[in-house]
Amino acid sequence: YGFINTCLKSLVVEKYGEETWEKLRLQAGVQDSFLTFEVYKDEITMQLVDKACKILGVPADMVLREFGEYFFEFCKRSGYDHMLRTLGGNLYEFIENLDALHSYLSLSYQAKNIEVLVMFVFPQEMNAPSFRVEKNEDGSMHLHYYSDRRGLCHIVPGIIGAAALDFFNIEISMEIVNQTEEEEEERTGKKEHIVFLVTQTPVFSYKERNAFSSSPQYLADSEKKIENPPNKEDLEKAKNTTNGRGNSVCPVKKSHWKTIRGIITLGKGKLLRGFDPVYPKSLWIDTKTFCNGLPFHMVFDKELRVKQAGVSIQKIVPGLQTMDICLDHYFSIVHPEVPFTISSIQKFINSQFVFQTRREMMPESWKQRPMLELRGQMIWMEPLQCMLYLCSPLLRTLHELEERQMHIADIAPHDVTRDLILLNQQRLAEMELSNQLERKKEELRILSKHLEEEKKKTEALLYAMLPQHVANQLKEGKRVEAGDFKECTILFSDVVTFTNICAQCEPIQIVLMLNSMYLRFDRLTTVHDVYKVETIGDAYMVVGGVPVPVPTHAERVANFALGMIIAAKGVQNPVSGNPIQIRVGIHTGPVLAGVVGEKMPRYCLFGDTVNIASRMESHGVPSKIHLSSSAYQCLKYKNFEMAERGEIEVKGKGKMHTYFLIRNKTATENEIMGRP
């Protein structure tokens, strides 16, 4: 389910950052987000784990363990906290009831042949792992972990360790003592069987340790410990009483007096009396009432011969009315996946067992319906050497009830299965609604992302036409006031013999030539941070120091002009096949700048500076950069090589002293062109 992949994403983002997740996601080839109740392929999760190991440079066992610890916290934040806390009063009971939790969750998560990575959300129909725990004489435990997925066992210590510390305030160590493929006598049908040795130590806070060690009672007990040691018989009694009350079953180092204090009622100083149940001398219920009151139960002996069955199960499986028939002829074990023998059942007696009817043994009327599944617990009756299977129909929804042509009345009134079917029907409807909302949310997120991308494209296009601050003012509906710039540098350029070229070429050839040239020039405006004002035909106009005033405006435009001469050599004349030639003119002076028009508004420059810059270009020389005297003065001490042209007659301006820009003394061609 997407719940697991979402958790993995949350772990990576929280601990390693959004960029690491994006890199991991792209390498794994998966989407950015996952729907909680959507089913995803196992390969997606396995790919994410594999790529995480490579990107983070961490071994798989450490990644899985860290994931296990984080997943426990993720489950708590997702609302499973209360459910997990109520599984057991100690670690043994907690682990012992994990399979029961999986079975319960199968009512909500319904999917076939998909396994999620971690335990707490393993529905039974999702091919969940199975857990079996054994107490050892020294108080430690052996935890048996069975799974259809190889290589995921290192998640178990992460989750169990986090749960033990959070719920029971103990630290545990888990060591793999055996790892085999399931081909032994107790084969479960799982591909991997891992045995962990689990030991634990209590965790005390600094405050608790100080308070306890400095208490008068502790000091007095410490002094008396050597003088009056407790006798062996008292200690044995205390130990037995403690174990009988279901305290922690893993080894915990305790002093003798601490063990005794642990079984004293706080504030009263009296020994706690253990609970002893009272049983009647004979069973006050007749056989008929028992079979009617528990309509779904079966009793069978070591040879699996049926000795007793409830009335409802007899009605569905008429063969059970014949006593001493073999149970495995009519049922198969779905969970746990163990052989149908009394010894295998006894080994997993703490697990919930799911039986399924065999189609070939059912009446004709049942053969076209889905098979009935029963879920319940096994109880071994030692005096009778028989096994009691207390069960209920495994039904999740009213639809499943109708498919089997059963009714609520077929289930005993005391059986909570009746309530679960009705409650789960409502929950499934809520889940479907939640799923739809989650899908809509994801669709909106994707649309929002696409909208943001389109917005960026639109803004990029707008900023290419107008200065950014001007464009932002226009978007906000504000009026853009004209700006007066005391000093800036303007450049004009055109193509030599452009009119002749147009006369001898097809229009498309002219378009291609100009486009090739302007693409090169546009890139250079970014390299040297100058503003492109406009292009008219073959004329190209840029300015430095407008719309943002900068003291280096003349140097920027000069370097841009040098780049233009070099770039033009890469553009071919469609008539001659030779590189085109351009004229460039530069002038420095004051201008007035503002936005003109409402439709296709343009940011235009006004003033005599524009005219003089244009005259520098029109009176220029092919493949040369023509400078006015004011532009020359700005570049005079800026590491540029320039040559004097002398006085020339300029149309509308009379005689003017001008110069040619030759090169930049300190910058290389690659630097001028912005090449790496």
Which amino acid, one-letter code, is at 159? I
Mean pLDDT of 210-225: 48
Alpha-helical segments (H) within 608-655:
608-618, 629-635
Strand, helix or coil for residue 287: helix
| pLDDT recorded at residue 602 | 85
Strand, helix or coil for residue 274: coil
Answer yes or no: is pLDDT of 448 > 70: yes
Query: Positive or negative, the Cα torsion across 625, 628, 629, 634?
Result: negative
Please give the Cα distance from 188 to 137 (Å, whole number): 26
Mean pLDDT of 234-241: 46
Please give the Cα distance from 250 to 202 (Å, whole number): 10
Answer yes or no: is pLDDT of 245 > 50: no
Answer yes or no: is pLDDT of 105 > 60: yes
Q: What is the 3-state secondary structure (H, E, C) of 67-81?
A: HHHHHHHHHHHHHHH
pLDDT tens, 295-323?
A: 999 999 999 999 999 999 998 888 888 87
Please give the Cα distance from 87 to 92 (Å, whole number): 10
Answer yes or no: is pLDDT of 109 > 70: no
Q: The tokens of 582 are what?
A: 């351009």
Compute the C-alpha angle 190/389/149, nearest 5°.
10
Please give the Cα distance from 345 to 366 (Å, whole number): 28
Q: Tell me what percent of the residues of the chain surpass a pLDDT of 90.
A: 36
Q: What is the 3-state secondary structure (H, E, C) of 573-617?
A: CCCCCCECCEEEEEEEEEEEEEEECCCCCEEEEECHHHHHHHHHH
Beta bridge partners of 131: 145
Question: Rounded to an integer, what is the distance from CA 43 to the centroid of its chain?
Answer: 15
Q: What is the 3-state secondary structure (H, E, C) of 361-393?
A: HCCHHHCCCCCCEEEEEEEEECCCCEEEEEEEE
Instruction: Using pLDDT thresholds of 50, 70 and 90, give the confidence band for residue 204.
Output: low
Mean pLDDT of 105-120: 43
In the numeric block, the tokens 């062996």 are attached to: 232
Strand, helix or coil for residue 478: coil
Long-range contacts of 468-477 (CB under 8 A, 24+ apart): 469/547, 470/547, 470/595, 470/603, 474/595, 474/601
Alpha-helical segments (H) within 490-583:
498-504, 507-528, 553-568
CB within 8 Å of 230: residues ≥ 6 apart: 256, 257, 260
| pLDDT recorded at residue 116 | 33
Q: The tokens of 317 are what?
A: 């499986």
**Alpha-carbon distances, residue 592 vs 87, 189, 429, 483, 605 (angstroms):** 79, 85, 68, 6, 6
Contact 510, 537 (CB under 8 A): no
Beta bridge partners of 391: 376
147/227: higher pLDDT = 147
Answer yes or no: is pLDDT of 149 > 80: no
Q: Tell me what percent of the residues of the chain surpass a pLDDT of 70.
A: 83
